[in-house]
Structure 1
Amino acid sequence: MTTNTTYDVTIIGGGPAGLFAAFYSGLRGLKTKIIEFQPYLGGKVHVYPEKMVWDVGGVPPLSGAKLIEQMVEQGLTFDPTVLLNTKVTSITQDESKIFHLHTSESVTHTTKTVIVAIGGGILQPQRLELNNIHHFEQTNLHYLMKPLAYFKDKDVLISGGGHSAIDWAAELEPFVNKIYLTYRGENFKGHERVTEQLLSSKKVASFFETTITNFTSSQSGDTIEQVELTETKTNKKHTLSIDDVIVHHGYLRDKSLLQDSPLPIKLHDDYFIEGSSSSESSIDGVYGAGDILHHDGKLHLIAGAYQDAANAVNMAKKYLDPEAAKGAMVSSHNNRLKQKNKIIIEQQMKKWDIGD
């Protein structure tokens, strides 16, 4: 099935680059759609919601969760169409130069230009290979970190011994009652100083060369109450009573979109879009933004993703309308934002009870 509406710009990916591209595309008056594989916008920032982000220009340090909130608010300023839980599997182009984005739902979306903003690829956490545990993901089995306040005074098991798992444990340690760390290796791979601090904490108990082998659920069957750990060499078992389980065994990266698409987009290292500093790809009408884009002088920061996004939109605008300006007017002079500014000022005046 093919959708009826052909958009000016369709952005694949709803992380920092994709959201800023949506904002800038709306600023330039383009009909815009975002297609995101995950059930939420914000991209990889969801991996570190509690960490403080310092390197976004003009923004004081703020948590990853707050940054997501603000990016989403800005990205939706001009009401783009947003599709979540949707995986784009390939990109084709017809004789009239319209692009067709094919999805795993067997729905095809048509668009005049495409901005690929998928970061390092679709990230899917590596899940535990135990039977009949998916329903616990709705309660107390977590593959992404929740706000620290959620874990206050709880007994928490963390499975994993890499940098992210150890960092999560370090952030939780001041707030929880107890942390159990289980890792299949002999030693944690986190930063040495962080690891030493964790191992010296009375709140932390570590189990090396162990794996999770079973869960015991509550009477209702909805939540995990006990975890069975098994030592890989001796088969000795440990049973722990817990409130929550956090699993960080790394991520699987789905790289199939560009590699499998019939559209011959030139790639760097068989994955990244081989592009220009203006975010162009080897295909007219297809652009890259964020970590997926490679070019000399590439800046791998959120600030760099924003620049890529604005460049991509500007090139898309020129592709659609060769007579268009190379860039949008600054926000203070933009007519669309002037109207929104007026609404904001009127709301503030009402809040402050200021008359005309």
Structure 2
Amino acid sequence: MNKPMELYDVTIIGGGPAGLYTTFYSGMRDLKTKLIESQPELGGRILTYPEKMIWDVGGVTPIRGEKLIAQLVEQARTFEPTIVLGQQISGFERQEDGTIMLTASSGERHHTRTVILAIGYGARKQVKLEIEGADRFEVTNLYYTVQGLEVFRAKHVLISGGGDSAVDWANELEPIAASVTIVHRRSQFGGHERHVSNMRNSSVKICTPYTIEALHSSNGTSIEQVAIAHLETGRRELLEVDAVIVNHGMKCDFGPVEGWGLDLGLWHVTVDEQMATNLPGVFAAGDFVTYGSKVELIAGTFTDGIMALNSAKQYLDPEAPMMAYVSSHNEKFKEKNRALGVIEDEESGQKD
């Protein structure tokens, strides 16, 4: 006889910051939780810039991306959820009893009462430099991601792009590179205001509105010069470089989720203020969602996750409280506090 498939209260799809924090909070709400990530490791988009400094998470001093993820993973495991790696969910089928059967592209199935989608921008692909033959330099000194800063020490670096990552890398590299030049098609940059201000007040050479026109190499293997052109006047400059970093954003592909019947736009799924999608029992959080008061910060993804999980809890039990008790009053943490050697006075709540 086949063993009945285990039924979970909530299945969270996506193992980035939103999915990880939602997994932790689901444990606070005493729900049987499963987290599924399509990649072989947890972390989401932050894994593409592990050494990038992150400044804007409440209560956390500046922290490298890889360390933040390590802490989020440790926190997510607090209530021992089931974690599944390396499975992309493709199938979505509503059962007669209202539960949901999810099927991975590899054939594995997952039975759940609710779903929270925290898939970010889906399978994001780097927008490549549209110059013929540019790909041959990817093995030498043309970069689309930065895995380590030391590679660029004492080098003349050109960065193409104007978003958060381009601005952040300019600021990160300015103290260690011989020079940093940033080339952007528009005069305005899309990074956080303080970071843009820091860049403008540093030694970074800013070329706007310019675009890369050609890459020059005498040996055919590495870029030695970059030709840039002013988009309004056509004026051209030739810059000597040791490395080129291209950050032109990403193309998003939500994959099989696009066939589920969700109210999807080009970059996001539309949700209400409770993070509910147009599919009953399916909620969403993080970069994947858009709504009127959306906060485009990692801190905002945590709030999205809380709201989505609270909505899932009330979907399962309309009589349940709207939110979890704070940790200092939550029964689930008392045993964990004792394990940490923290003893609280039952009357006053003070720690000994």
SS of the residue aligned with 1:11? strand
SS of the residue aligned with 1:7? strand
1:294 corresponds to which residue? 290
Conservation of the 8 A alpha-carbon contact between 1:46 and 1:144: no
Question: What CA distance in whole angstroms lies between the structure 2 residues aligned with 1:215 and 1:108?
Answer: 54
Question: What CA distance in whole angstroms lies between the structure 2 residues aligned with 1:333 and 1:97?
Answer: 34
Residue 115 of structure 1, CA deviation: 0.2
Question: What CA distance in whole angstroms lies between the structure 1 residues aligned with 2:145 and 2:138?
Answer: 15
Conservation of the 8 A alpha-carbon contact between 1:45 and 1:64: no
The one-letter code of the counterpart of 1:29 is D
Alignment of 1:212-223 (within 5 A): none
Which of 323, 328, 331 lines up with 2:327 in the alignment? 331
Conservation of the 8 A alpha-carbon contact between 1:101 and 1:110: yes
Alignment of 1:88-127 (within 5 A): 88-127=89-128
Residue 39 of structure 1, CA deviation: 4.2
SS of the residue aligned with 1:122? coil
Question: What CA distance in whole angstroms lies between the structure 2 residues aligned with 1:6 and 1:322?
Answer: 19
Alignment of 1:102-251 (within 5 A): 102-127=103-128, 136=139, 142-148=143-149, 150-151=150-151, 153=153, 155=155, 157-158=157-158, 160-163=160-163, 164-177=165-178, 190=189, 194=199, 197-198=202-203, 200=205, 209-211=212-214, 226-227=222-223, 246-251=245-250
Question: What CA distance in whole angstroms lies between the structure 2 residues aligned with 1:30 and 1:299?
Answer: 26
SS of the residue aligned with 2:15? coil
C-alpha distance after superposition, 1:63-119 (max 9, x if no partner): 352433332222222232333443333433222323233333343333221001123
Runs (5+) with no aligned partner, structure 2: 190-195, 230-237, 343-351
Q: 1:153 to 1:342 in 2, by over 3 A?
A: same
Question: What CA distance in whole angstroms lies between the structure 2 residues aligned with 1:214 and 1:188?
Answer: 29
Runs (5+) with no aligned partner, structure 1: 202-206, 218-224, 347-355
Q: 1:37 to 1:211 in 2, by over 3 A?
A: farther
Residue 30 of structure 1, CA deviation: 2.0
Q: RMSD across aligned C-alpha pairs, in angstroms? A: 4.2
Alignment of 1:58-73 (within 5 A): 59-65=59-65, 66-73=67-74
Residue 6 of structure 1, CA deviation: 3.3
Conservation of the 8 A alpha-carbon contact between 1:122 and 1:253: yes
Moved more, 9-18 or 324-333: 324-333
Moved more, 169-178 or 279-288: 169-178
- Whether 1:255 aligns to 2:231 is no
C-alpha distance after superposition, 1:159-180 (max 9, x if no partner): 6243433541332121134658
Which of 43, 52, 77 lines up with 1:50 in the alignment? 52
- Whether 1:25 aligns to 2:26 is yes
Conservation of the 8 A alpha-carbon contact between 1:11 and 1:35: yes
Conservation of the 8 A alpha-carbon contact between 2:137 and 2:222: no
C-alpha distance after superposition, 1:181-239 (max 9, x if no partner): 789x7x887569846855659xxxxx97445588989xxxxxxx844667699xxxx9x
Question: What CA distance in whole angstroms lies between the structure 2 residues aligned with 1:92 and 1:313?
Answer: 21
2:279 corresponds to which residue? 283
- Whether 1:7 aligns to 2:8 is yes
C-alpha distance after superposition, 1:267-314 (max 9, x if no partner): 264663333322222222111122333344343333332222122222
Runs (4+) of structure 1 exceeding 6 A deviation are 128-135, 180-183, 213-217
Scaled by the length of structure 2, what TM-score is found? 0.70
Scaled by the length of structure 1, what TM-score is found? 0.70
SS of the residue aligned with 1:102? strand
The one-letter code of the counterpart of 1:171 is E
Q: 1:170 to 1:145 in 2, by over 3 A?
A: same
SS of the residue aligned with 1:311? helix
Q: 1:61 to 1:232 in 2, by over 3 A?
A: closer
Q: 1:176 to 1:332 in 2, by over 3 A?
A: same
Percent identical among aligned pairs is 35
